[in-house]
Amino acid sequence: MANYTPEDELIIEQQYNELLASCDKICKSEADWDMIVKAFFLAKEAHKGVRRRSGEPYILHPIAVAKIVVDEVGLGVKSTVAALLHDVVEDTSYTVEDIENLFDAKIASMVDGLTKVSAALDEDASAQAETFRKILLTLSDDIRVILIKISDRLHNMRTLGSMPRNKQLKITSETMYLFAPLAYRLGLYAIKTELEDLSLKYMYPEQYAEIEAKMNATAAERNEFIERFIAPIRERLTEAGIDFVVSGRVKTVFSIWSKMQRKQIPFEEIYDLFAIRIVFKSTDLVPEKSQCWHIYSLLTDIYPPKPDRIRDWVSFPKANGYEALHATLMRPDGIWTEVQIRSERMEEIAERGFASHWKYKQQAQESDDEFDKWLKDVRSALNQPAGNAAEFLENVKMTLYMTEMVVFTPKGETLKLPVGATALDFAYNIHTNVGNTAIGAKINHKIESIYTTLTSGDQVQILTAETAHPTIEWLDHVSTVKARQAIISYLKRVRQNNIERGISIFDRRMREFGITPSARLFRKLLPAYDCSNKDEFYSKLGSEIINLNDIDSVLRQNSKNKILKFWTFEVGANKKNKEIIVSQMTDVEGEDVQKFAIAECCNPIPGDNITGYRDPQSGAIVVHKTDCKELIRLGSQKGENLVTNIKWSSYKAQSYLTEIEMRGLDRVGILRDLAQIITTELDVNIRGLQIQSHDGIFEGKMSLYVTDAESLNELIGKVNAIKGIEKVKRL
């Protein structure tokens, strides 16, 4: 292994000195400095001569992670030492015991938590999922491990350019699926937004570059407008004797791209490209909450407010400790603009998250707050028995999202639930037995379905009946881990009983035919009864969803597979001249072709950016849109199965089913104009149309057949141009 060059040593020394300068604010004694210096030289020796894929000395990575831990997360000496050593046990001959002997048990424990899983894995789980599981379980002991891991991921994302395309997509999938929401939940807003931006940069490099270029092109004009908007605010707050700083914060590329996707509009139609932030110095004479509302009242003397867009996270802080008052004001040009009002303490917590929250909590000697409660809930969930690592990850992810709302019990007690939660989520939040027996809810004294989505401020009472019980459909109507786990637990108990009953019924029936069950027999039975595996077949049989009345005819059927040709793909440069047939069959016998399937979750059509996912069992490649949420979930857990060198080559079918959603002003003749554009001008076949009109507004969905994404975009553009149409988007 070659040593580093003099140029390398110079860069290492420079970065190390920058780290030491950062550590000046956390080292309180000579012992602290000695520990950091010892950790650096141990890491440098352990990684001696090793280089990253970019070619730079490997030791620069732990130095960079340690610097993020100090400067951007705000952790202390032991965390910095653990950051410097985080890859030593995994990549070198040093052991956790060595770290404990050289430092102490706490640092060794953190390094162990940061070390990836190397033992044998659960056959249903990926290495990534097992790694996340081990890291997240350290929440039960030391949350600093996760904060260091997020810092590690941030530096990896900052240096992702040297990685091959398939590695980039695997790492961005992990980042979007778990690390960005985890950073959000721990209050690391700056890191969360940078992780999202970097993920978009590597997921959609062309779109990222285009938005960034347009933002740069309009920067001077935007900055001038921000200054004009701020000027009267600055004058009014100064007159009121408030010590403050006001600034304009430009929105991130990712947030703008997300809005463009969500609303199906171009960059030019995004008007709220910035938000205003006011950070004031609080005084002991007036509570911070009162000062926030005082500033709000001064702002509304200048610009008209939008009352239904006030977000009061001062009275009801978020679970990650975030506090602020958000208001929306009308600009002189008629565009709504968000203004954030925070104290200096709130600002530090918003930017630095967990570490700052804990510092202020200890200073104030506060009792348990929302952050503590959330942490206890997560620790409780982590310590519960779980299925495979992938299922575990899915449950943990649900605890990370999303925006919270406040609802009330009949007695006026407050509960925090994620936005989008239903009455059923509320029921399980009260107690598992309440959830399992729920039949309805009184929401604001009006009887509603348990599937009803709650809004902030609702008062909810759950109605129950001993005869009620969870069904599989309930899983589609809950968004909290507690509710989901309780429903799954109940269904598993019922399913196991059904499986046992189904096995008994099936064995008895096969004995009547004199048949011994075999793998070949199930290859014929499972597709005939629309089942993917034996357990599903037995469960449906035991619960009487299916019966065996027609099994004699099923057994006599010819099971010869039929290949259905739809379109072709190319995979990899070595297959440049070879077309590969896409088949909807999952078990193609005697065919020397690559097996493909189109993902039903996102239904890509020719022209969409696509990425494949190779099914570990069948070997078939399931084709998704690159930004499909299900693909991101799969990639975060089994990134080695992503197929990135895949593209549309040619397609035989004339059209593909897709669906669009429309909204606009109802007027006489709008349906006629719609049909004229679609069927006559564009020659598109409509499969189905649903229109509802109320209060002069119509909303509708249309299923139609298009040839590719380009023709779909042309259709959306023409429909959007029809008089009265307000919004059109692809579902």
pLDDT in tens, 636-690: 777 778 887 777 765 544 567 788 888 887 777 777 888 777 777 666 777 777 7
Task: For strands 311-312 and 610-614, give the pairing.
Answer: unpaired
In a domain, 481, yes or no: no
Residues 635, 661: one domain? Answer: no
Mean pLDDT throughout 164-176? 87
What DSSP state is assigned to residue 612?
E
In a domain, 120, yes or no: yes
Torsion 14-15-17-18 (CA) sign: positive
Q: How many other C-beta atoms are found inside a 10 Å radius of the C-beta of residue 457?
A: 10
pLDDT of residue 711: 78
In a domain, 370, yes or no: no
pLDDT at 400 over 90: no
Cα–Cα distances (Å) from 103 to 29, 85, 89, 508, 611, in that order, read 16, 11, 14, 66, 46
Residues 65, 130: one domain? Answer: yes
- Give me Rg for the CA atoms of the chain: 29
- pLDDT band (50, 70, 90) for residue 85: very high
pLDDT at 576 over 60: no
In a domain, 427, yes or no: no
Residues 261, 312: one domain? Answer: yes
Mean pLDDT throughout 601-617? 80
pLDDT of residue 174: 81
pLDDT of residue 557: 62
- Is residue 90 flagged as an active site residue? yes
Task: State the Cα–Cα distance between residues 221 and 335, nearest whole angstrom.
Answer: 16
Task: State the Cα–Cα distance between residues 531 and 596, nearest whole angstrom.
Answer: 20
CA nearest 283: which of 291, 274, 273, 275? 291
Decide if 326 contacts 276 (C-beta within 8 A): no
pLDDT at 42 over 80: yes
**Number of domains the chain contains:** 5
Sheet holding 274-280, edge to edge: 244-250, 274-280, 336-343, 325-330, 311-312
CB within 8 Å of 395: residues ≥ 6 apart: 381, 386, 481, 484, 485
State the Cα torsion 532-536-538-543 to the nearest 10°. -140
CA nearest 626: which of 261, 352, 290, 360? 261
| CATH number (domain holding residue 249) | 3.30.460.10
H helix or E strand, kind and range, residue 660: strand 656-665
Q: Provide the terminal-to-terminal Cα distance of the chain, rounded to the nearest Å.
A: 54
Task: Tell me the HSE value of 671 on the side-chain side, using a 13 A CA sphere.
Answer: 13
Mean pLDDT throughout 507-535? 81
pLDDT of residue 372: 58
Instruction: Name residue, tokens 């598993």.
Output: 492
Q: Which residues pair with 336 in a beta bridge?
A: 330
Task: State the Cα–Cα distance between residues 153 and 434, nearest whole angstrom.
Answer: 41
Task: State the Cα–Cα distance between residues 464 and 509, nearest whole angstrom.
Answer: 40
In a domain, 379, yes or no: no
| Helix (H), strand (E), coil (C) string for 33-87 | HHHHHHHHHHHHHHCCCCECCCCCECCHHHHHHHHHHHHHHCCCHHHHHHHHCCC
Cα–Cα distances (Å) from 715 to 258, 587, 711, in that order, read 22, 37, 6
In a domain, 57, yes or no: yes
pLDDT of residue 220: 87
The angle formed by the CA atoms of residues 447, 450 and 452, to the nearest 5 degrees, is 80
Instruction: Name residue, tokens 């509320």.
Output: 426
Decide if 460 contacts 454 (C-beta within 8 A): yes
Mean pLDDT throughout 432-458? 89
Residues 227, 329: one domain? Answer: yes
pLDDT of residue 379: 58
Residues 511, 624: one domain? Answer: no
Backbone angles phi, psi at 164, to 5 degrees: -70, 160
Q: pLDDT tens-digit profile of 197-225?
A: 999 999 989 999 999 999 998 888 888 88
Looking at this protein, which amino acid is placed at residue 442? Answer: K
Task: Tell me the HSE value of 195 on the side-chain side, using a 13 A CA sphere.
Answer: 26
pLDDT of residue 124: 39
Residues 626, 666: one domain? Answer: no
Task: State the Cα–Cα distance between residues 116 and 87, nearest whole angstrom.
Answer: 9
Of the candidates 34, 90, 141, 224, the residue annotated as catalytic is 90
Q: How many other C-beta atoms are found inside a 10 Å radius of the C-beta of residue 686?
A: 13
pLDDT of residue 326: 92
Task: State the Cα–Cα distance between residues 239 and 503, nearest whole angstrom.
Answer: 81
Mean pLDDT throughout 35-40? 95
Residues 47, 116: one domain? Answer: yes
| CATH number (domain holding residue 107) | 1.10.3210.10
pLDDT at 360 over 70: no
Last residue of a domain, one of 352, 367, 383: 352
Q: How many other C-beta atoms are found inside a 10 Å radius of the C-beta of residue 688?
A: 10
Last residue of a domain, one of 651, 666, 690: 651
In a domain, 442, yes or no: no
Residues 674, 531: one domain? Answer: no
Mean pLDDT throughout 505-509? 84
Q: pLDDT tens-digit profile of 596-606?
A: 777 877 878 77
Task: State the Cα–Cα distance between residues 484 and 615, nearest whole angstrom.
Answer: 26
Q: Which residues pair with 312 in a beta bridge?
A: 325
pLDDT of residue 602: 81
Last residue of a domain, one of 651, 672, 688: 651
pLDDT of residue 498: 86
- Is residue 91 flagged as an active site residue? yes
Which residues span the domain enclosing 148? 6-198
Residues 662, 627: one domain? Answer: no
Residues 725, 625: one domain? Answer: no
Mean pLDDT throughout 12-20? 94
Residues 137, 249: one domain? Answer: no
Q: pLDDT tens-digit profile of 472-497?
A: 889 888 888 788 888 888 888 888 88
Q: How many other C-beta atoms are found inside a 10 Å radius of the C-beta of residue 464?
A: 17
Of the candidates 32, 71, 91, 630, the residue annotated as catalytic is 91
Q: How many other C-beta atoms are found inside a 10 Å radius of the C-beta of residue 659?
A: 13
Residues 137, 230: one domain? Answer: no
| CATH number (domain holding residue 685) | 3.30.70.260
H helix or E strand, kind and range, residue 693: strand 685-694
In a domain, 383, yes or no: no
- Which residue blocks in 159-243 are alpha helix, DSSP H? 165-174, 180-185, 189-203, 205-217, 219-239
H helix or E strand, kind and range, residue 541: helix 534-542
Mean pLDDT throughout 353-366? 54
pLDDT of residue 561: 37
